[in-house]
Each structure stands twice: as C-alpha cells, then as structure tokens.
C-alpha cells in the first residue's frame, strides 16, 4: 500500500504524508500530517495556560535542570568568546546603551535576536528575527561546506 485516506480530511495521500505509528496495522497514523499539525496547534491555542504551566513544571524537573547546567557549562568551556559577547550585549540592551532594531532582512519586530559577525566586537551586531537568523546560519553552513576542494581532495 502506497496511499492512505485520512479519516479527518477524507483525502487520499501517499504514506509519506502520515506520521509513523507502530501500533497501526500499516505502521502509519490514520490522520495525515497536515490534520495532525492543525489539531495540535488548535489544542495548544485553546489550552495555552495549562500547557505553559505543564512546560514550566517539566522544565523544573531535576534531570532537566542538570542538563541545562551541563549545556551552559559546555558553552562557557568551549566558546567563552561567544558567551562573553552575549553577556556584554545583553547588559548593554538592559542598560539602554544598545537598542534592539527590526530584522535587517524582513523588518519584523518579533523574536528579534542579535547576530555577531565578530565576537571581539560584542556590541556590533545585526538584528535578525529568529526565522531569518536560522536561514542566515543555514546559508553560512552551506557556503562553508560547498568550498571547492584542493588537489589533495581535502577541504
């Protein structure tokens, strides 16, 4: 079987449009991904206070707190320049010395983050919204990995 009908929208779709589920006879959920995502979003919107409380309680569990501390310590050990720049910028924003600006690409004012081009200049940043910041780093990674190889075949 390569296709399946969603019980929610009644559309026949390829199996790739259904989440895997080991308890189902064909190994896939009976609701398509689009309907599942819509239902999850609607549930979250209707129950946002309860879900936020659950998330807060879950984040306070001892093993999650320990993992956060471990990751934070790793960041400081492996990238002290990044952490120092992040802290200096955060303090400057808090003190009103630096003002957040809209995203440099899409002009959005929501979820704006600072992008450091040089960590030795902690207050010299480009303000990007979260989606544009992710895209920027993805493009940066693609450019890094697609550099031409030299004669030896190494990068």
- The residue extents of the domains of the chain are 3-49, 61-145
CA–CA dist 120, 88 (Å, integer): 11
**Averaged confidence pLDDT in the chain:** 91
Query: Could you tell me the two tokens for 140?
Result: 């940066």
Residue closest to 71 by CA, chosen among 86, 79, 112: 79
Q: Which residues contact 21 (CB under 8 A, 6 or more apart)?
A: 27, 28, 29
Task: Name the pLDDT band for 153 (thresholds 50, 70, 90).
Answer: very low
Mean pLDDT of the region 53-77: 92
The residue ranking higher by pLDDT, 147 or 23, is 23
CB–CB of 11/32 below 8 Å?
A: yes
Q: Is the full-model pTM beyond 0.75?
A: no
Angle at 114 between CA 106 and CA 137, to 5 degrees: 70
Residue 123 contacts residue 89 (beta carbons within 8 Å): yes
Rounded-to-integer distance, Cα 76 and Cα 82, Å: 8
pLDDT in tens, 74-111: 888 898 999 999 999 999 999 999 999 999 999 999 99
- Identify the DSSP state of 8: T
Show the tokens assigned to 123: 């207050």
Q: CA–CA separation, 64 vs 135, rounded Å?
A: 28
| pLDDT recorded at residue 145 | 76
């Amino acid at each position: 079987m390569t296709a399946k009908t969603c019980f929610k929208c009644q559309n026949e779709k390829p199996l790739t449009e259904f989440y895997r589920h080991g308890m189902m006879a064909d190994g896939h959920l009976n609701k398509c991904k689009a309907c599942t995502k819509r239902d999850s979003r609607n549930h979250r919107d209707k129950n946002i206070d309860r879900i936020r409380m659950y998330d807060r309680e879950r984040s306070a569990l001892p093993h999650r707190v320990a993992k956060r501390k471990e990751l934070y310590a790793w960041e400081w050990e492996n990238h002290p320049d990044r952490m120092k720049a992040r802290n200096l910028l955060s303090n400057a924003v808090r003190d009103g010395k630096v003002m957040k600006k809209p995203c440099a690409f899409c002009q959005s004012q929501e979820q704006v983050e600072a992008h450091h081009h040089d960590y030795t200049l902690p207050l010299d940043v480009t303000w990007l919204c979260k989606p544009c910041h992710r895209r920027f780093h993805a493009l940066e990674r693609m450019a890094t990995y697609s550099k031409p190889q030299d004669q030896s075949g190494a990068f």
